[in-house]
Structures are given as structure tokens and as C-alpha cells.
Amino acid sequence: MFDRSVRDSHSSVEEDGDGDRESTPAVRLEGISHQYGSTGGRFRSNTERTVTALRDVSFEVLMGTIVGLEGPSGSGKSTILHVVSGLLVPTTGSVELRGTDLSALSDAQRTRLRRQHIGIVFQRFHLLPSLSARANVALPLVQAGVPRSDRRARATELLEAVGLADRVTHLPGELSGGERQRVAIARALAADPDVIVADEPTGELDTATGADVLELLTDIGRERAVLVASHDESTLSVADRVITLCDGQVVDDDR
């Protein structure tokens, strides 16, 4: 359903020698721990307290699979998504994206890698209200320097793929919640990423609309690695594997 035709030729993530995208994990977390409220192990103030969000978390996400993260609020699900996305550098441990250690990169390098290889789907869509559906989808391609005609064609193609061929020029305020989430998914796919991270992707949707979005995520997961955090059992039901977190630790892994 989704054409994997956009790939930055200057990507720093190497394919395997035999070209097999499934031969190595898309994501590998090894001994990840993270504390909020500290800098280099020192308190910034006498009253500051540290909060341990993750404790020695290790797992892999293979290409072509969907891995679900479940657990109560504060269990560390969103922190893991931020770590995998390169938005957060863990206090200890390593995070690898297709063999590249994110913690060894500069902020600028992590940003570039994220734009090229990670698509993010937010619970509340995060669409720019003044831009059309097509312009929102094309935003990652603007940042990548893709020519205007090419990015318009790619955005249109993706909107058609998610069932929004007749909503290309509509503003987010003119779309339903389910349609806005489909636009968000199309935007996450714009740069043809290896990895999709989704934080409560059906949290703002009714049951029927959420089922449609889950069908899209299942389709995406056939040729990418998908990491989805959710409290919702129906959302987690599409996962090939579910990792349960509590107090920042993995307490169950049903692989």
C-alpha cells in the first residue's frame, strides 16, 4: 500500500551488505536508564530531586514488526519513545538505530537522523492549523530540501494511500479526528522512515475510527519497525509483541 520511494542518498544509516532490511534490528536498546532532574550526576539546586524514569531497559525492534509498550501512567512508555526518537539522550546505556549509536552523535546529527529515519505519530496530531493536509504531510520533505513538485506529489500520494484523496486541500480544522490522525500518519511516512513511533495513536478517537487507524498501522508494520505506546487493549492487539513496563522497568515481555 505504501510506496517506499523517498530515501535521502546522504543517509548515515547503512543498509546491510546483502541489502536485507530485516537482517539486523531496526532499534536496539541496551541497559537504558534515565533520570530527570540531574545534570552530569550533579544537582542543579539544593532543592532539586531526581526522578528515575527508566531502569536498565533492554529490547530490540525488528523490521517488519510492531512492538507495543503498555503500563500505567509514569511507567516510562513516553520516555522510551523519546529515547528511540533521539529527542532524549539516556543517562546510561545505548540506543542504536540500524546499528548507529544515537548517544555518540551530536544534537544536529541526531536531528538529521530522526528526520531521515524516524516517523512520529502523536496522540493529539500536532498538525499546523494554517496549512492544508497536503502541506502538513510535506513538512518533513521541506526540511529535507526535496523540490516542491516532488514533495507535493509525495504528499498527495500518501494522502490517497490513507484514504484522504478528497481532503488534500482541507485545513486540519475542517477534518474529523480520524482524518487528522490519518494526515499525521501520512506525515510520519513522508520521508520513508525505517521506524515509526506512535504515542497513544488512538487515544483521541472513537472505537470505529480507532480501528481504521490500527489497520493503517498494521499495514505500515509489514515493512517498517513500529513502536507503539498505549493503554488501550485494542491498540496493543495489533502488536506482534507487547512489553509491559512498571516504574521504569520491563516487568513482562511476551516475545
Residue at grid coordinates 533521539: 86
Mean pLDDT, all residues of the chain? 87
For residue 145, pLDDT beyond 70:
yes
Q: Worst-scoring range by mean pLDDT, 10-19, 92-101, 123-132, 215-224?
A: 10-19
Based on its alpha-carbon atoms, the radius of gyration of the chain, rounded to whole angstroms, reads: 18
> Long-range contacts made by residues 151-156, C-beta under 8 angstroms, separation at least 24?
151/190, 154/5, 154/6, 154/190, 155/186, 155/190
Q: How confident is the model at residue 15 (pLDDT cuts 50, 70, 90)?
A: very low
Report which residue type is found at 233.
E
pLDDT (average), residues 234-247:
95
Nearest partner of 127 among 190, 81, 219, judged by Cα: 190
For residue 3, pLDDT beyond 80:
no
Nearest partner of 120 among 176, 178, 26, 198, judged by Cα: 198
For residue 10, pLDDT beyond 70:
no
Q: How confident is the model at residue 246 (pLDDT cuts 50, 70, 90)?
A: very high
Q: Give the H or E element holding residue 208.
A: helix 207-220
Q: What pLDDT does 8 receive?
A: 42
Give me the domains of the chain, ranges plus CATH numbers.
25-253 (3.40.50.300)
b/e per residue 96-105 (b: at least 16 CB within 10 A) = bbbebebeeb
Nearest partner of 95 among 78, 82, 108, 111, judged by Cα: 82
Q: Which residue has the higher pLDDT, 127 or 41?
A: 127
* 96 within 8 A of 87, measured Cβ to Cβ: no
For residue 23, pLDDT beyond 80:
no
State pTM to two decimals.
0.85
Q: How confident is the model at residue 37 (pLDDT cuts 50, 70, 90)?
A: confident
For residue 41, pLDDT beyond 80:
no
Percent of the chain with pLDDT over 70: 86
Contacts of 73 (CB under 8 A, 6+ apart): none
Q: How far apart are CA 179 and CA 155, in angstroms?
A: 15
Q: What pLDDT does 198 receive?
A: 95
Q: What is the pLDDT of residues 167-195, one digit of tens each?
A: 999 999 999 999 999 999 999 999 999 99
Taking CA atoms, 37 is separated from 50, 185, 246, in Å, by 5, 33, 20
* 140 within 8 A of 187, measured Cβ to Cβ: yes
